[in-house]
Chain A
Amino acid sequence: MHVLKTLLAQVKEFTRDSILTPIFMLVEVAMEMVIPLLMASIIDEGVNKGDMHHIFVIGAYMILAALVGLWAGMMGGKYGARASAGFARNLRKSMFANIQTFSFENIDKYSTAGLVTRLTTDVTNLQNSYQMILRMGMRAPASLIVAMIMSLYISPRLASVYLIAVLILACVLFLIISRVTKIFDYVFKKYDDLNASVQENISGIRVVKAYVREDFEKEKFQKASGNIYKFLLKAERILACNAPVMMTTVYTCILLISWLGAKMIVTSTFTTGELMSMLTYCMNILGSLMMLSMVFVMITMSVANANRVAEVLNEKATIVNPENPVMEVPNGDIDFDHVNFAYKKDAEEFVLEDIDLHIKRGETIGVLGGTGSAKSTLVNLISRLYDVTEGKVRVGDIDVRDYDLEVIRNQVSVVLQNNVLFSGTIYENLRWGSENATDEECQKACKLACADEFIERFPDGYDTYIEQGGSNVSGGQRQRLCIARALLKQPKVLILDDSTSAVDTATDAKIRKAFREEIPGTTKLIIAQRISSVQDADRIVVMDNGRIDGIGTHEELLESNAIYRDVYESQTGGGSGDFDEKEGE
């Protein structure tokens, strides 16, 4: 019910269409019911009696009814299409808008692929079901009921034949459907697995080929596809009973009615025209029943879609703007006051534990630590991408939770570990940082990030079109463009989360030099794996297992911190020699 309410709230401006559709469908049904009566009248009163006048008059009525039916049917089709397409549009729109309010915590909850499916396949299925319900949900029962009443009116005795037939048919259809849905449920899961294995083979084709496992994979695939074939065949074969069962019922009804009807006509309690009408209603009733069973199947199948869509629509953003937000960040001081953090509220262990770190404006801080030591988590708290569990994070001496979200995120500029560029020109991508940046400002930022050298080598320069996900630039180029984009915000705090890993050491050094000289007032946090990326920082924070293991300059840490020394030695070859010491000379 709750799900239904959530979804129906999205009908919005298409409410009128949604109401009109079934109404028009009812008019169409009414005409569908009237026409057989008129047809019967043409035969009984007109053709059989040779009354041309009657044929003309009733024929005119019938054409009128047909026109009304045509109009109603077309309008029903039009409004149905509009209502369902509109419903789908609103679902997508609202989901997309709601996703935009999501905090990182919300985003983490869903996988990218999961969100994409919800916005596409799930919505398309709901759209089809909605249209089906609007058009057939009213039409089929109405047609069923009216045909029933009409036949009861013509002859209660003959109508009882339908009742029995309807009951039997309903039972058999129900049996078939329930058996088939069970198989389909199972087989669709397997089908997903099969597709997943195709996907795996496409993306891992180099591994398959490198290990000459083509035949192995083929065999694996054929086994899986053979298995699916077996179950799908079983399901389809059960479904193959549908048509014969339907036919049997219709034929039985026709023969029974003919037999009983003939007897009644002989005793003059029934006319031949009435018999003809009865037979038409018979087809109507059974057709509607078939339609209803289809609607029923569609509804059952879209329940899962509905749940998944409603889940996204009802997801509440965990981070929202405070009531009277502070609209300005005074400076780039950063303070962590005994911060504890866990991704889940009820987690047993904190991911960050007792972080007490104070950074002055303009400082350059290096952050180092193994995979999983919570370096990224630490910096993500600064621009309030996550909220602390305990303690406080302050920027410019104000709790980050008191700032306007947009203000704090513009002033604390993060270059995320997973860099993403969007389809569009380089200029367009850069202007994500600052909408109104001039070409000169963009170029300056690129120069700082050492991106200018390769951009200028592109034939189209800054107007080069970046493909989706930045697939036409290399990893190192992508990282530098992302840094430039972040610089354009002219932030008070700049955070690079392992953002130069694919950039060679020389360029990396050049970028850091530019930072030092061009934006000295900006507080800079640099997370890196490479010692060389952080060793000239003012202070280096060594993270281990969610705690700060040591803080100090390169020299101090070499002296005092075992982890730092370990990393240093591993990267410079055991200190036995040559390389970095030479550099130090």
Chain B
Amino acid sequence: MPRQQAAPRGKGSLKVNKHIMGRLARYIFKMYGIHLIIVLVCILASVLCSLQGTMFMQNLIDDYITPMVEAHSVDFGPLLAAIGRVAGFYALGVVCAFLYNFIMAQVTQGTLRALRDEMFVHMEELPIRYFDTHQHGDIMSIYTNDIDALRQMISQSIPQMVNSGVTVIGVIVCMIRLSIPLTLVTLGMVAIMLLVTKFLAGNSGKYFGKQQRNLGRVNGNIEEMMNGQKVVKVFCHEEEAIEKFNALNDELFDSAYQANMYSNMLGPANAQIGNVSYVIVAVVGGILAIGGFGGFTLGGLASFLTFNKSLNMPIMQVSQQLNFIVMAMAGAERVFGLLDEKPEDDEGYVTLVNAKEENGQIVETSERTGMWAWKHYHQADGTTSYVKLEGDVVFDDVDFAYEPGKTVLHNIKMFATPGQKIAFVGATGAGKTTITNLINRFYDIADGKIRYDGININKIKKDDLRHSLGIVLQDTHLFTGTVADNIRYGKLDATDEEVHAAAKLANADSFIHKLPNGYDTVLTGDGANLSQGQRQLLAIARAAIADPPVLILDEATSSIDTRTEKIVQDGMDKLMAGRTTFVIAHRLSTIRNSDCIMVLDQGRIIERGNHDELIAEGGKYYQLYTGKIVNA
């Protein structure tokens, strides 16, 4: 199967995609609109409260302490009252801060949960082609790295930005009220701060992007080398491996160093520009006050300096959030990219229903009868007909291409009548697996028709089509859960007895009993604690319990050694009895008793017939399984 490597995606360029930002904002707002409004109000209140505090600090000296010092009888009453009032504001501020932090926790976690769930639900609907064309590690990293980046931004950056924004506006308003010229001086310094921030953050963003790419490369190299570590040993290739790794590692070091350097410098740079701004304001303000321009007083200057100081803080905080935002946007882009993938389309309308026979007529029933029928609604005349599910499969001149223009199957014509066993043989890449993938519509054909019990499979609802087919794949995939759970995957409501019976049929029962907890043994990591052969036996049991009329076995027994296979064969024969079966195998013993064997070569059926006929023919089949042509 052609698996294309997804192109490595550039991450971390400092350009924030406005479209993505807006979409994310809408997404959050739709779910948590009211929450966000409350949060906004709380932040606003909290900022205003702390501004009250700052104002108090300025007036502390002028309005309370100086009068007290000058007065004859000291009265602490007004000061106490003022402190009490400010304490009230502070308390309100604290409560608001707690509230918005508390609510943001829910907004953050809720949004992430919704995104995760939506991504997973959507992913399950995507066509197989999506998984063929994307590296699995790459898909995984959307769930982990990208979501993590979003968490950082939603929970910290957004409230921080709002907070800082409100503070900055509040402080500037206060400043303007005190002195317009000094405000201009301060804003001039803020502009310098922003320029420096833009330069440093731009550089660090650039290098962070480079670091992410280098990190990806190093990860790729490590993964490749660790996977092939034994081969490296066998070929004494250690030094070359180290050399290659060191080169990549050094590049990573370089970009990580630069990225961190620029981002580390951001804090001190802004802090010191802030200090310089303080001095300049002091000097300019001093000249203004002493010269008595515009009625500006020294007391006013003192207040102004405090505001100057409180303006620098939020700007510094915002600048430190920039990198998080850039990274989060890159993450959001990938998250939405997954959500925008087109799901598998299913225009089918023929459904599978339980049926029973009444007076020679097939009628639908709600009970489980063991008999199934295709419910076919005819739009033309508004009637509904029922066709009994039998497993009659016909390929009529089918062409197929994974990529347009590169046809891999040509003019496939074949038919399987109910209960027949059809085998496909041929070299790797001849198109055997592809044919079976067309029957259950993992892929859609380019030309021709596939009929199932006389119905074009495009008209059958995909879920119902797949329900009627049992598949045992070449790569067995097991899921985390008990052995019984894994077998039950074929039929969720199966009883314990049914599970045991299916396991016995596949000859898996005996090894399952030897497992530490029998059927309740928990399998993890795709059944890592089982041998390949044992996993195949479980996959067979899983197919057996589903009891489908049509069975597809794709190299189902390839990892079971021949002696064990002989034992399994017995179960397989029982499983195949009365079902239409498509078998792919390279072992003769698995296919020799097939009703019809199709020999495939480069996407075409070149020979067909039963074993004896094909041997007599002395063609490709004969060659493949005897190796005779070489000896002759």
Contacts and interface: CB of A to CB of B under 8 A. Distances in A.
B76 interface: yes
A321 to B, nearest CB: 11
B31 interface: no
B625 interface: yes
Contacts of B267: 73, 77
A59 B219 contact: no
A74 B612 CA distance: 83
B477 A206 contact: yes
19 contacts: A42-B305, A47-B301, A50-B298, A52-B290, A55-B282, A73-B268, A86-B253, A200-B526, A218-B124, A251-B90, A262-B65, A268-B69, A371-B559, A414-B234, A416-B234, A468-B224, A471-B3, A579-B626, A583-B628
Given A96-B245, A207-B477, A213 B489 contact: yes
Interface stretch (A347-355, A390-398, A441-449, A501-509): A501-509
Residue among B144, B275, B302, B563 having the largest count of chain A Cβ atoms under 10 Å: B275
Residue among B80, B93, B253, B526 having the largest count of chain A Cβ atoms under 10 Å: B253
A399 to B, nearest CB: 19
B32 interface: no
A244 interface: yes
B302 A47 contact: yes
B218 A120 contact: yes
B440 A510 contact: no
Given A206-B442, A583-B628, 15 more contacts: A85-B253, A96-B249, A120-B218, A127-B256, A210-B473, A212-B467, A233-B110, A236-B109, A254-B53, A266-B74, A432-B235, A469-B224, A506-B630, A508-B627, A510-B627
B246 to A, nearest CB: 6
A202 to B, nearest CB: 5
A156 interface: no
A193 B480 CA distance: 9
B260 interface: yes
A229 B113 contact: yes
B604 interface: no
A209 B79 contact: no
Contact of B128 (A47, A89, A206, A485): A206
A557 to B, nearest CB: 15
A160 interface: no
A520 interface: no
Contacts of B627: 505-506, 508-510, 532
Residue among B79, B226, B276 having the largest count of chain A Cβ atoms under 10 Å: B226
A469 B234 contact: no
A570 B561 CA distance: 10
Interface in A59-100: 59, 62-63, 65-67, 69-70, 72-74, 76-78, 80-82, 84-86, 88-89, 92-93, 96-97, 99-100
B594 interface: no
A221 B480 CA distance: 12
Contacts of B318: none
Contacts of A477: 428
Given A89-B250, A209-B128, A409-B234, A200 B480 contact: yes
Contact of A203 (B83, B98, B108, B136): B136
Interface string B417-444: 0000000000111000000000010100
A439 to B, nearest CB: 19
Residue among B68, B108, B120 having the largest count of chain A Cβ atoms under 10 Å: B120
Contact of B480 (A93, A120, A196, A383): A196
Contacts of A413: 234
B563 A570 contact: yes
Contacts of B466: 209-212
Interface string A175-197: 00000000000000000010111
Contact of A385 (B112, B234, B566): B234
A263 B233 CA distance: 79
Contacts of A422: 224, 228
B447 interface: no
A131 B116 CA distance: 32
Contact of A236 (B108, B542, B563): B108
B268 A69 contact: yes
B632 to A, nearest CB: 11
A490 B219 CA distance: 34
